[in-house]
């Protein structure tokens, strides 16, 4: 990764995955041609110079020391490697050093053991484990530029369908960008071993059709609504140590060690992809997260059944 600003290039015409795909195809075509030519020559040699009864004692022509042949098999591979090098360097530069275009959306992704904090500084939104972005229209592109940080150990951000991996290193911010033209959900996972629950550090990228991203942003910007029916659970939540780690905007809960819960129920999974976010799973999770995700940093809060009911009822109002 080149430090920011050292080599800046305009946004390339292709998305990162398209650029990587084109490079792979170029290399595949060149390698296929080499394979076919070498196989054909080999087959030709095998047939033409196979042992025959009539000339069994003849030696084939000896070409040791032929300058023409030595030059050919030295120069052609050097040229090919040079072409591979240039094509790869060009793609790397396009993918890694692109500068945000005017329509770009910006996000900061922070890796934690074992979940993803996702902030949109310009939009004032903080969420977790789900990266939302608008589908990009080739005529008015909306790529997502991401700053990658780590709160603890090294992690790696990887959405296979949307490009390569970029590490999240403590004390060394990295950056990358995503662009998807097809709306949908793209799954990814932490790609750097980061502890016991590394495999349960899943991330999903949700690419919204035109107009939908703005609706999602509006919904996420709202502060939590205080549903009167969940008053008991709300008070309990705000008076236990939940508030030390979690934020619910619009309340005094402002902890930052754990995921922001302001719109918890808008998310698809719990525990960074361990289970679907259903009321039943939320209850099991809240009773003792260590059962679903052993060694995760949220402890068993030792809630009684009635406390658990009240707090889960409150959490379910955080949509």
Under the rule (CB under 6 A), what is the footprint of ligand CUA? 111, 114, 155, 190, 192-194, 198, 201
Distance between CA atoms of residues 215 and 160, nearest Å: 27
Nearer of residues 23 and 191 to ligand CUA, judged by Cβ = 191
168/310 with CB nearer ligand CUA: 168
Helix axes 279-287, 305-315, angle to 10 degrees: 130
Q: How far is the CB of 114 from ligand CUA (least distance, A)?
A: 6
Minimum distance from residue 165 beta carbon to ligand CUA (Å): 11
DSSP alpha helices (H): ranges in 49-204?
67-96
Contacts of 1 (CB under 8 A, 6+ apart): 96, 166, 174, 175
The smaller minimum CB distance to ligand CUA, of residues 35 and 193, is found at 193
Between 111 and 163, CB nearer to ligand CUA: 111
Which run of H or of E encompasses 232? helix 231-239
Cβ closest to ligand CUA, residue 194 vs residue 230:
194
Residue 195 Cβ, how far from ligand CUA at the closest point, in Å? 7
Whichever of 205 and 311 has its CB closer to ligand CUA, that residue is 205
Helices then strands, counting H and E runs in the chain, come out as 8, 12
Contact 15, 159 (CB under 8 A): no
CB-nearer residue toward ligand CUA: 208 or 293? 293
Work out how close the CB of 297 gets to ligand CUA at its nearest, in angstroms, rounded to a whole number.
13
Question: Which residues, in sequence order, are CB contacts of 83 under 8 Å at separation 6+?
Answer: 30
Closest approach of ligand CUA to the CB of residue 143, in Å: 24
- Least distance (Å) from ligand CUA to the CB of residue 2? 24
24-45 CB burial, b ≥16 within 10 A, e <16: eeeeeeeeeeeeeeeeeeeeee
Q: Are 194 and 113 in contact (CB under 8 A)?
A: yes
Closest separation between CB of residue 269 and ligand CUA, Å? 16
**CA 301 and chain centroid, separation:** 32
């Amino acid at each position: 990764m080149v430090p920011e600003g050292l080599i800046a290039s305009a946004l390339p015409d292709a998305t990162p995955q398209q650029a990587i795909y084109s490079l792979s195809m170029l290399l595949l075509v060149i390698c296929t041609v080499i394979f076919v030519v070498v196989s054909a020559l080999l087959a030709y040699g095998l047939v033409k110079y196979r042992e025959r009864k009539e000339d069994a004692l003849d030696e084939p022509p000896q070409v040791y020391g032929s300058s023409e042949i030595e030059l050919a098999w030295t120069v052609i591979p050097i040229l090919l490697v040079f072409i591979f090098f240039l094509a790869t360097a060009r793609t790397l530069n396009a993918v890694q050093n692109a500068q945000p275009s005017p329509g770009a959306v910006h996000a900061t992704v922070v890796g934690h053991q074992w979940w993803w904090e996702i902030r949109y500084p310009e939009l004032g939104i903080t969420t977790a484990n789900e990266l939302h972005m608008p589908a990009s229209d080739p005529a008015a592109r909306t790529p997502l530029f991401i700053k990658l940080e780590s709160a603890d150990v090294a992690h790696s951000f990887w959405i296979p369908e949307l490009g390569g991996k970029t590490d999240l290193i403590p004390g060394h911010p990295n950056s990358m960008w995503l662009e998807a033209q097809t709306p949908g959900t793209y799954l990814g996972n932490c790609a750097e071993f980061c502890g016991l629950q590394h495999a349960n550090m899943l991330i999903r990228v949700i690419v919204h059709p035109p107009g939908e991203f703005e609706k999602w942003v509006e919904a996420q910007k709202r502060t939590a609504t205080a549903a009167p029916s969940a008053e008991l659970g709300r008070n309990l939540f705000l008076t236990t140590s939940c508030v030390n780690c979690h934020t619910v905007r619009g309340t005094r809960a402002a902890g930052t060690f754990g995921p922001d819960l302001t719109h918890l129920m808008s998310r698809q999974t719990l525990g960074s992809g361990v289970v679907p976010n259903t009321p039943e799973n939320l209850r099991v999770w809240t009773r003792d997260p260590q059962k679903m995700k052993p060694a995760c940093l949220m402890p068993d809060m030792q809630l009684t059944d009635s406390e658990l009911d009240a707090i889960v009822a409150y959490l379910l109002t955080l949509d």
